Amino acid sequence: MRSILALTSALLLCSSAFAQQLGWTNIKGYGFDADGQLVQFQQLIIDTDSGKVLARGDAIQQDFPDANWQDGKGKAILPGLIDGHGHILGLGQNLMQVELRGTQSEQEAVERVAEFAARHPEQQWIQGRGWNQVLWDNNEFPSTALLDEAVSDRPVWLSRIDGHAGWANSKALKLAGITKDTLDPPGGRILRDEQGNPTGVLLNNARQYIGAVLPEPNEAEVIQALEAAFAELLSLGITSVHDAGIDSSLAQLYQRLRAESALPLRIYAMLSARNPDLQDWLDQGIIDDERDLLLIRAVKLYGDGALGSRGAALLADYSDQPDHRGLLVTEPDRLTAQMQATIKAGFQANVHAIGDRANRMVLDRFEQIATKEQLAQGRHRMEHAQIVSPQDIPRFKTLHVLPSMQAVHATSDMNMAGDRLGVARLRGAYAWRTFVDQGSPIVGGSDFPVELANPFYGLHASVTRQDQHNQPVGGWLPEQRLTLTEALRSFTRDAAYGAFQEERLGSLAPGMWADFIVLEQDPFAMEPEQLWQLEVLQTWLAGNKVFHRE
C-alpha cells in the first residue's frame, strides 16, 4: 500500500542486523562546526547501527582500519537539507492535481484544466494549483467564463500559486452557496463584477466557502499523497521538513506512522492554530522522539495574506490599489489569545506575516505578551517576513524572533513587488543580508507547494537574487544577497536551530545524525548561476541510503 514507507520501515528496523562502519575517502565534504563556520573534509565515516557520524577529516581512515571504506570519486557530500517551511500533504496532493505553474495566460490555464478533466473522469472535483495572473498577458484575475466553457459538469477549484486565492467555476460557486448576496467574511473577499456578481475568485478567508464543501480525502488518499511527497522530497536531498500548519488528523497519522517506523524523513510539525482542539494538543505538551523523526512543539499562526493577491497587510496603501492595505486573516484579539496560549504552553509560536503591518503587529504582540525569558528560550518565528519596515528589522534580534524566509519568493515576486509596494518599501523587502548582518539566523525553506520544493532553487536565489534565466543582470536588490556558505547554513544548521535541533542535525559533525546527500558537482566550485541545476545522486538518513538516482 505504501512502498516507500514500507521500505523505510525495513531499513530502520533492520539496520542493526547489518551494523558496520561505513567510510568514504576522496570526497569534497562540507559541514559546520559548533560556531556555524564551514568545515571542509575529504573523509567521512558513519556508524550504521547508531545512525550517527563517527568522524570527519582529511586523514581519519587510519583510525578506523576495520571499516568498509569506499572511494567517493571526488563527489561532493553536504549535510541533509532542511526545508524550514513546507506543506507535505499539500505537496503530495499537488503532485496529483492540475499543474498550473508557468502558464502564460488564462486560456492556457483553462486548456490544462480541460485536458486534466478529460483524463480523469473519475474525479468528482477537478482541483489544481499554481496560476499567477501577474505572469499572464493581461495581468488580470481570471473569471468563471472560460472555466465554465471547459468544465461545466463538475466543480473546479484552482488555488493561486501563493495559496491565498482560489479560482472556481460556476458549479463550485453554486455548491458553496456563493451568490451576489453572499457577504465577504472577515479577513476575506469575494471578487465581483460591476453588477456585484461573483467572478469566481475568492481571496484569503473567503476560500473557506469552497473548503466547506470540498470532499475530505480518505486515509488511503492521504497516505498516497504523503508517499508521493516523501519520494519527491528525498529525491531532492531534503531529509527534514518543518511542516507548516497541520490539522489534528494529520498529526495523529504522523504519530502512527512514526510508531510503525514508517516515516522516511524527519518532520518538525507545526500545529495549525485553526485546529478547534488546539488547546487539547497544547495541554498534552511537546511530543518528542528519540530518533528525531517526529517533533511536535510549534504552532503555526496566521497574520495576513500574500502580496501577489494584495492580501499582505501593509502600513500604507498598495501603490497599485489606492485605499487598500491588505487583510488580516485572524482578528487581532484572537491572534493575541492564540499566541498567549501557545507561549504559555511552552510551544514555539510561528506566525505567518508577509506585509510590514502584519510584521509590526506580531512583533508588538511578542513584546507585550512574552517575558524576556520566554522570548530568549522560545525561538519564536516570523514565517515569511517578506516586507518589513527597516525600523522593525532590529526588533527581530532584540526580541529573539527568527526570520523564517523563503529565498525563491523574492525571485518569484520581483516582477510585481515594485508595483505593489513602490520603491521606498523595497528597502525592507526580502532583506536577507540585513537580517544576517545583525546576527539573526535565517530559517531557510521553499514554502512548497507554493514554490517548487527543489532546495537548489533556493540556494541559487539566495546567492544571485536572480531567476533561473539569470535575470535580472546583476540580481534584484543585489545588496541583499547571501554568500553560498550563508545560504547553505540557512538550509541546514540554521534551519535546525529554528527547530531546537542544531545539536543533532544540520552540521554533519561527529555525534550527529548521519543525514547527508551526495552530489556529482561541488557547489562551491561552480558558477553561482548554475547552482539551480544541481541534482542529488544519493540521500542518506541516519546512516541509511533512502534515495539513489539511477
Q: Which uninterrupted H or E stretch holds 149?
A: helix 144-150
- Side-chain half-sphere exposure of 310, counting CA atoms within 13 A: 21
Angle among Cα 534, 431, 433 to the nearest 5 degrees reads 70
Q: Please, what is the angle between helix 332-344 and helix 356-369, to 10°?
A: 50
**Chain length of the chain:** 550
Q: Is the pLDDT of residue 12 over 50?
A: no
CA-wise closest residue to 461 among 499, 407, 414, 403: 407
C-alpha cell at 436: 544576517
Q: If you ran DSSP here, which 8-state letter would residue 403 be given? A: E
DSSP 8-state class, residue 401: P
List pLDDT tens digits, range 183-205.
Answer: 999 999 999 999 999 999 999 99
**Closest CA relative to residue 165, chosen from 113, 129, 121, 122:** 129
Residue 303, sorted as left (phi over 0), alpha (psi -120 to 50) or beta, turns out to be: alpha
For 249-277, how does the pLDDT look when each residue is reduced to its tens digit (9 = 90+)? 999 999 999 999 999 999 999 999 999 99
Q: Which among 3, 175, 11, 10 is positioned nearest to 541, based on CA atoms? A: 11
DSSP 304: B
Q: CA 492, CA 430: separation in Å to the nearest integer?
A: 20
Q: Are 20 and 50 in contact (CB under 8 A)?
A: no
Residue 100, judged by CB atoms within 10 A of its CB (0-12, 13-18, 19+), counts as: buried
DSSP-derived 3-state class of residue 287: strand
DSSP-based three-state secondary structure for 10: helix
3-state SS of 26-55? CCEEEEECCCCCEEEECEEEEECCCCEEEE
Residue among 134, 136, 135, 131 nearest 200 (CA): 131
Strand partners, 79: 516
Residue in 364, 312, 365, 313 with CA at minimum distance from that of residue 337: 365
81-86 and 156-160 beta bridge pairing: unpaired
Contact 324, 295 (CB under 8 A): no
**Residue (of 296, 300, 298, 275) closest to 287 by Cα position:** 296
Q: Are 226 and 93 in contact (CB under 8 A)?
A: no
Q: Which grid cell sits at 466?
A: 536572480
Phi, psi at 44, each rounded to 5°: -145, 140
Please write the tens of the pLDDT for every residue from 404-414: 999 999 999 99
In sequence order, the β-bridge partners of residue 86 are 243
Mean pLDDT, the chain, as a whole number? Answer: 95
Distances from the Cα of 119 to the Cαs of 116, 290, 388, in angstroms?
Answer: 5, 45, 45
Q: Which residues contact 545 (CB under 8 A, 6 or more apart)?
A: 538, 539
The H-assigned helical ranges of 236-355 are 248-259, 278-284, 332-344
Is there a contact between 529 and 72 (Cβ–Cβ < 8 Å)? Answer: no
Q: What is the pLDDT of residue 281?
A: 98
Out of 9-13, 169-173, 285-289, 342-346, which region has the weakest mean confidence (pLDDT)?
9-13
**DSSP per-residue codes, 525-542:** GS-GGGGGG--EEEEEET
Reported as a pLDDT band with limits 50, 70 and 90, residue 19 is low
Question: What is the C-alpha separation between 382 and 371, in angstroms, rounded?
Answer: 18
73-124 pLDDT, tens digit each: 999 999 999 999 999 999 999 898 999 999 999 999 999 999 999 999 988 9
pLDDT of 394 reads 98
Per-residue confidence (pLDDT) for residue 162, from 0 to 100: 87
Q: Which three cell numbers stand for residue 349?
A: 509560536
Residue 2 has pLDDT above 90, yes or no: no
- Grid cell, residue 471, equals 535575470
Q: What are the angstrom distances between the C-alpha of 130 and each of 160, 295, 312, 415?
A: 5, 30, 18, 16
The yes-or-no verdict on residue 6 having pLDDT over 60 is no
Using alpha carbons, select from 129, 315, 300 the residue that is nearest to residue 225. Answer: 129
Pick from 455, 465, 399: nearest CA to 431: 465
414 residue type, one letter: M
Residue 161's pLDDT band (cuts 50, 70, 90): confident
Q: What is the DSSP string of 503-519?
A: TTSSS--TTSB--EEEE
- pTM for this one? 0.88
Using CB atoms within 10 Å of the CB of residue 200, give its burial: 0 to 12 exposed, 13 to 18 middle, 19+ buried: buried
pLDDT of 10 above 50: no
Half-sphere exposure at residue 21, Cβ-oriented, CA atoms within 13 angstroms? 15
The predicted model gives 283-300 an average pLDDT of 97
Per-residue pLDDT at 452 exceeds 90: yes
d(CA 19, CA 133) in angstroms, rounded, equals 54
Q: Determine the Cα–Cα distance for residues 458 and 487; give it in Å rounded to an integer.
A: 8
Does position 1 have pLDDT exceeding 70, yes or no?
no
pLDDT at 172: 97
